Amino acid sequence: MEFKQGDWVRIEKNGTVYEGKVMPSMEGYITIKMKSGYNAGFSIDKVRITLLENNGEIANGSNGGRNGVKESKNVTEKISKPGLPKIAILSTGGTIASKIDYRTGAVTSQFTADDILAAIPELKEIADFKGRVISSILSENMDSDSWQNLAKAVVEEIEAGAEGIIVTHGTDTMMYSAVALSFMIETPVPIVFVGSQRSADRPSSDNAMNAICAARVAISDIAEVVVVMHGTTSDDFCEIHRGTKVRKMHTSRRDAFKSVNSLPIGTVDYSTGEIKTFIDYTRRGEKALKFKPGMEPKCAIVKFTPGADPTVLDYYISNGYRGLVIEGTGLGHVSTKWIPLLQKAGDAKMPVIVTSQCLNGRICDRVYDTGRDMLKAGAIEGEDTLPETSLVKLMWVLGQTEDFEKAVSMLREDLSGEITECTHK
Ligand code: ASP
């Protein structure tokens, strides 16, 4: 039987009937997305497959090939529809571009942007896409050079006329890349990061819904760097998070991403595409495109724990580090023993930002003695900024200026929505 991606099929296995849309599948298997939103995968030689509705583009599939699922390396032309907004989709790797290698059981990044576009036929109704491969890596392998390469490519695409950008990215460090681009690019169009927690060939993969919601945001009025991912564990809506306020808060759930110390910018309804917003945001065209590259990699986060040896700070001071973020306790504290080392960092003209391991809430070092002593030693209160956001901000600020006083004053400012005046939640 011939079937291809996008077809509606009935599958009978041991007397049970399943119906759904054919998804990208591994050789010898068929994966379908059922009405419930869950995916199911079957070994082709153990089931009976009936084609119910032909919805694919090219009838080139057969059970003898790659499960009859169309795969293309160069589909951008075919999926373009004139008159729709022009969106560039930049792929970097991660689970959204991955499938299980059944020989090893490991998930590896193997799809390009064009493969992702071909795999999700609904996208062609939303925009006119151009695919571009930046890398095919798991996001734990990203570094500050990767952020800068990505930012440069995004800027080139906007200059070339893209009306919105989608960056497909591994979820583990997506928040760091989103923060880096938030500081490096002033954007007139949406820049949307999207990933998936479960690869395309797994039951309950979130890749298609996340990508479709991301496309809706990419053509919207929200001209900010945002992360768009599942809002709940169901296939109902995605949340739109500001790049500087978002964090991955769960290892495996589909709704792992949460805005911290802020409401999400809004939500996108999966079935209707409707976008609802909850807080103010920068509108399309409000800002002119501006690219401000530059990242100082020699910065680190140090987590304070009870009884922690303060000489750990000496390592950074004497090894050429240019800035530190401390994850303190509660309102932003370290023990009294750490104060002389903080003073030493200040004397070495090394900015030290204090954040809290509570994550939720705002730093206030004026309440307890230890906090006051930290401020006297020159520590900068990170306000309600996440530790990871503070780290990338520090790296970016130190990539912009050599002047210590100027760096400190930039670090105290809200530069890209990372400090909110009044903390939500
Ligand atoms: N380790 C993967 C990555 O961040 C996980 C994912 O993409 O969800 O690339």
The whole-chain average pLDDT of the chain stands at: 88
Same domain? 153 vs 247: yes
Per-residue pLDDT reduced to its tens digit, 198-239 = 887 777 788 889 999 999 999 999 999 999 999 999 989 999
Same domain? 160 vs 103: yes
Q: Ligand 1 centroid vs 137 CA: distance in angstroms?
A: 9
Same domain? 184 vs 248: yes
Per-residue pLDDT reduced to its tens digit, 387-414 = 999 999 999 999 999 999 999 999 999 9
Residue 77 lies in a domain: no
Same domain? 53 vs 142: no
Task: Specify whether 235 is catalytic.
Answer: no
Residue 78 lies in a domain: no
Mutation to probe ligand 1, out of 107, 136, 138 (largest number of atoms < 8 A from CB): 138
Query: What pLDDT, on the 0 to 100 scale, is given for residue 73?
Result: 34
Tokens of 387: 């530790």
Per-residue pLDDT reduced to its tens digit, 71-92 = 333 334 334 566 899 999 999 9
Q: Span 193-197, mean pLDDT?
A: 94
pLDDT at 294 > cutoff 90: yes
Same domain? 284 vs 306: no
Q: Span 299-310, mean pLDDT?
A: 98
Same domain? 259 vs 287: yes
Which of 242, 262, 291 is the endpoint of a domain?
Answer: 291
Query: What pLDDT, on the 0 to 100 scale, is given for residue 63?
Result: 32
pLDDT at 37 > cutoff 70: no
Could you tell me the pTM of the whole model?
0.82
Task: Specify whether 305 is catalytic.
Answer: no
> Of 31, 92, 112, 171, which is the active-site residue?
171
Residue 424 lies in a domain: no
Three-state SS letters, the chain: CCCCCCCEEEEEECCEEEEEEEECCCCCEEEEECCCCCEEEEEHHHCEEEEEECCCCCCCCCCCCCCCCCCCCCCHHHHCCCCCCEEEEEEEECHHHEEECCCCCCEEECCCHHHHHHHCHHHHHCCEEEEEEEEEECHHHCCHHHHHHHHHHHHHHHHCCCCEEEEECCCCCHHHHHHHHHHHEECCCCEEEECCCCCCCCCCCCHHHHHHHHHHHHCCCECCEEEEEECCCCCCEEEEEECCCEEECCCCCCCCEEECCCCCCEEEECCCCCEEECCCCCECCCCCCEECCCCCCCEEEEECCCCCCCCHHHHHHHCCCCEEEEEEECCCECCHHHHHHHHHHHHCCCCEEEEECCCCCCCCCCCCHHHHHHHHCCCEECCCCCHHHHHHHHHHHHHHCCCHHHHHHHHHCCCCCCCCCCCCC
Mutation to probe ligand 1, out of 136, 141, 171, 210 (largest number of atoms < 8 A from CB): 171
Q: Ligand 1 centroid vs 197 CA: distance in angstroms?
A: 7
pLDDT at 105 > cutoff 70: no
Query: What pLDDT, on the 0 to 100 scale, is given for residue 102?
Result: 57
pLDDT at 383 > cutoff 90: yes
The minimum-distance atom of ligand 1 relative to the CA of 173 is: 4
Per-residue pLDDT reduced to its tens digit, 269-287 = 999 999 999 999 999 999 9
State if residue 195 touches ligand 1 by the CB under 6 angstroms criterion.
yes
CATH at 222: 3.40.50.1170
Which of 291, 321, 342 is the endpoint of a domain?
Answer: 291
> What's the longest Cα–Cα distance across the chain?
75
Query: Per the structure, how many domains does the chain have?
Result: 3
CATH at 322: 3.40.50.40
Query: What pLDDT, on the 0 to 100 scale, is given for residue 201?
Result: 73
Q: Between these two residues, 78 and 110, which has the higher pLDDT value?
A: 110
Q: Between these two residues, 153 and 104, which has the higher pLDDT value?
A: 153
The minimum-distance atom of ligand 1 relative to the CA of 96 is: 7
State if residue 248 touches ligand 1 by the CB under 6 angstroms criterion.
no
Residue 187 lies in a domain: yes
Residue 320 lies in a domain: yes
Residue 69 lies in a domain: no
Query: What pLDDT, on the 0 to 100 scale, is given for residue 59?
Result: 32
Residue 217 lies in a domain: yes
State if residue 94 touches ligand 1 by the CB under 6 angstroms criterion.
yes
**Which residues span the domain enclosing 236?**
86-291
Per-residue pLDDT reduced to its tens digit, 407-418 = 999 999 999 999
The minimum-distance atom of ligand 1 relative to the CA of 98 is: 7
The minimum-distance atom of ligand 1 relative to the CA of 95 is: 7
Q: Ligand 1 centroid vs 34 CA: distance in angstroms?
A: 25
Q: Between these two residues, 425 and 139, which has the higher pLDDT value?
A: 139
Q: What percent of the chain has pLDDT over 90?
A: 67
Same domain? 142 vs 260: yes
State if residue 226 touches ligand 1 by the CB under 6 angstroms criterion.
no
Which of 236, 264, 291 is the endpoint of a domain?
Answer: 291
pLDDT at 372 > cutoff 70: yes
Same domain? 115 vs 254: yes
Per-residue pLDDT reduced to its tens digit, 241-253 = 999 999 999 999 9
pLDDT at 419 > cutoff 90: yes
Per-residue pLDDT reduced to its tens digit, 315-346 = 999 999 999 999 999 999 999 999 999 999 99
Q: Ligand 1 centroid vs 266 CA: distance in angstroms?
A: 24
Residue 263 lies in a domain: yes
Same domain? 361 vs 402: yes
CA 49 to each of CA 4, 60, 150, 202, 289: distance values in angstroms, whole numbers, following the listed order:
12, 16, 42, 19, 51
Same domain? 124 vs 229: yes
Same domain? 287 vs 367: no
Same domain? 231 vs 90: yes
Task: Specify whether 287 is catalytic.
Answer: no
- Residue 100's CB: how many other CB atoms inside 10 A? 17
Q: Ligand 1 centroid vs 99 CA: distance in angstroms?
A: 12
Query: What pLDDT, on the 0 to 100 scale, is given for residue 13?
Result: 83
CATH at 34: 2.30.30.520
Q: Ligand 1 centroid vs 171 CA: distance in angstroms?
A: 5
State if residue 197 touches ligand 1 by the CB under 6 angstroms criterion.
yes
State if residue 210 touches ligand 1 by the CB under 6 angstroms criterion.
no
Q: Ligand 1 centroid vs 94 CA: distance in angstroms?
A: 4
